[in-house]
């Protein structure tokens, strides 16, 4: 079956900044893939390239088999019905002069879907799906809470029935209790409507909750792609191990007995990324080969998880940092 999203060797440079530097990733129909990484990893840029909010420097993006990488705006427009994006801060991504019903109905209008009456009915349906009453349609973004605004963003993204949703840190600006509600909502909508989702976040707990597969990004490249369970149970790449060990768990006894892998140094500049493996200057187990040769993202182990690390063997065995430090 054609995947909902295929990204092949995607490159995005901003001048000298190599924000995304050769990423290959697929999201199958109806699948949720979590894309995690820290600031500067290029995860948001990847999301913006996939939805063609940025021009690609190189590489290919296919949505449901359609290559959209270099389509002109006019040719791209009808295909936009198939994919959409929600952002971290709904306050700045919603037009303050438009009522909620106009915002949610805008994709329908742009794609000339249905009659005016049908569009109005569709808006009510979508508002209901995201847990907002029809009256909210007459209100303006500034009259809504952060959680309600994020529901409106979701309603707008989903009103034209896309098969792919890119969600870029959709819960990061929200309070914990509101985060819970929005995560639940995305999970419920995804299983009811069956769209594929690229869920971009730095929140590992949210990814573990929502995603079926997880891709880990570091300095413009993927270092590991694996099933949720195996990634969280047995992360293979040293960076993934460090990342998981650094996130504190809300359980004092467990948190205080964990061994934290503290990385030395800083994330290097994406203007002049390190030679070989980009993680090698901070990797506690790096060897000579890591500084010289670029590791390939390759399948390892019986399940074929993808790892870009010289020290992980083909059978999937490799360094376990918690024991090494």
Partner 1 sequence: MSELESPQGEREMSEPGTAWATARPPTVGGPLLEVEDLSVRFRTEDGAVLAVDEVSFTVADREVLALVGESGCGKSVTAMALTRLLPSNALITGSVRLGERSLLELPEAGLRDVRGRDVAYVFQEPMTSLNPVLTVGKQLGEVLRRHQALRGKTADRRATELLELVGIPLPAQRLKEYPHQLSGGMRQRVMIAMAVACQPRLLVADEPTTALDVTVQAGILDVLRDLRTEIGTAVLLITHDLGVVADLADRVVVMYAGRTIEEAGTEALFARHSHPYTRGLLEAVPDPERRAGGIREIPGRVPTLRSSPDECTFADRCGRADSLCRARRPELLLGPAGHPVRCVHPLPLPEVSR
Residues that bind partner 1 (CB under 8 A): 38-39, 145, 147, 175-181, 183-184, 187-188, 202, 204-206, 208-210, 228, 232, 242-243, 245-256, 260, 262-263, 265-267
Q: Where are the alpha helices (DSSP H) in the chain?
A: 43-50, 73-76, 90-93, 100-110, 116-129, 146-158, 176-193, 204-210, 228-233, 238-246, 252-257, 288-292, 321-324
Cα separations in angstroms, 232 against 67, 146, 226, 248 = 33, 30, 9, 14
Nearest approach, Cβ of residue 253 and partner 1 (Å)? 7
174 or 309: CB nearest partner 1:
174
61 or 174: CB nearest partner 1:
174
Nearest approach, Cβ of residue 67 and partner 1 (Å)? 34
**Contact of 263 with 323, CB cutoff 8 Å:** no
Nearest approach, Cβ of residue 225 and partner 1 (Å)? 18
Nearest approach, Cβ of residue 195 and partner 1 (Å)? 18
Longest dimension (CA), the chain: 67
262 or 294: CB nearest partner 1:
262
Q: Read off φ and ψ for residue 129, nearest 5 degrees.
A: -60, -35
Residue 233, helix vs strand vs coil: helix
Nearest approach, Cβ of residue 319 and partner 1 (Å)? 17
57 or 209: CB nearest partner 1:
209
**Contact of 36 with 43, CB cutoff 8 Å:** yes
Nearest approach, Cβ of residue 250 and partner 1 (Å)? 4
**Contact of 237 with 320, CB cutoff 8 Å:** no
What number of CA atoms fall less than 13 Å from residue 7's CA on the CB side?
Answer: 24
159 or 179: CB nearest partner 1:
179
116 or 233: CB nearest partner 1:
233
């Amino acid at each position: 079956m054609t995947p909902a999203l295929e990204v092949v060797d995607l490159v995005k440079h901003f001048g000298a900044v190599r924000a995304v530097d050769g990423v290959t990733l697929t999201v199958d129909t109806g699948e949720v893939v979590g894309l995690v990484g820290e600031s500067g990893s290029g995860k948001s840029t990847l999301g913006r390239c996939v939805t063609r909010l940025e021009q690609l420097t190189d590489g290919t993006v296919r949505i449901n088999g359609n290559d959209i990488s270099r389509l002109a705006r006019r040719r791209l427009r009808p295909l936009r019905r198939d994919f959409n994006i929600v952002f971290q801060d709904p306050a700045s991504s919603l037009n303050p002069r438009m009522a909620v019903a106009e915002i949610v109905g805008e994709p329908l209008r742009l794609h000339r879907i249905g009659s005016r009456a049908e569009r109005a009915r569709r808006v009510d349906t979508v508002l209901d799906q995201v847990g907002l009453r029809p009256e909210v349609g007459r209100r303006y973004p500034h009259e809504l809470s952060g959680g309600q605004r994020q529901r409106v963003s979701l309603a707008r993204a989903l009103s034209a029935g896309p098969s792919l949703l890119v969600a870029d840190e959709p819960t990061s600006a929200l309070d914990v209790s509101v985060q819970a509600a929005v995560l639940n909502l995305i999970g419920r909508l995804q299983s009811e409507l069956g769209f594929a989702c690229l869920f971009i976040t730095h929140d590992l707990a949210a990814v573990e909750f929502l995603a079926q597969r997880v891709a880990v990004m570091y300095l413009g490249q993927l270092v590991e792609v694996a099933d949720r369970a195996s990634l969280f149970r047995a992360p293979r790449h040293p960076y993934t191990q460090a990342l998981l060990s650094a996130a504190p768990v809300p359980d004092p006894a467990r948190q205080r007995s964990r061994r934290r892998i503290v990385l030395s140094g800083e994330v290097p500049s994406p203007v002049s990324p390190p030679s070989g493996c980009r993680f090698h200057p901070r990797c506690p187990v790096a060897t000579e080969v890591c500084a010289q040769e670029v590791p390939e993202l390759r399948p390892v182990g019986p399940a074929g998880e993808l790892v870009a690390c010289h020290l992980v063997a083909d059978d999937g065995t490799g360094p376990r940092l918690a024991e090494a430090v």
